[in-house]
Amino acid sequence: MSGLRDAIDHTMLGWIKPELDEVLRQARIELEGFVETTDDPSRMRLCAGYLHQAQGTLRMVELYAPAMVVEEMERLADALRDNATADRDAASAALLRGMLLLPDYLERLQGGHRDIPIVLLPLLNELRAARGESGL
């Protein structure tokens, strides 16, 4: 039954991956706009909204480890919007790194690799640290 479940996961990921890639691209555009003009918190509000959409999609298809990473990305976007990070540049860089690494991880899953959450732990902890939270 596990093989069937894996096949279903890969099929579902194939259906949603183009949309996820686009949502993450839009979030990245908003982050880049925020970095250029930090006096506009609406950019991070939009960024967090895109990340929230990606998180919901990942949870819907039961990809919980990537969804947890996106949840931390959304929290960091909110912290940046609220100017609640100790180092805005480092926090922005961590968020951008997440936006660049997550599509690669999903690509690996789509290619048949297993979902191994421990692979995402360093990124997850980096995102948490950027908000002043302890690692997992």
Give the CA distances from residue 50 to residues 2, 25, 37, 78, 115, in Å, rounded to whole numbers and listed in that order. 32, 9, 19, 12, 23
How confident is the model over 115-129, as pLDDT tens digits? 888 999 999 999 999
Instruction: Give me the average pLDDT of each 10-residue run along the chain (136 residues).
Output: 51 86 97 88 95 95 92 97 94 96 91 86 96 84
DSSP code, position 119: G
* pLDDT of the residue at 3: 52
* Domain ranges for the chain: 2-130
* pLDDT of the residue at 10: 66
* pLDDT of the residue at 102: 94
The DSSP H or E segment spanning 15 is helix 2-36
Give the pTM.
0.89
Q: Which CATH architecture has domain 2-130?
A: Up-down Bundle (1.20)
* pLDDT of the residue at 124: 96
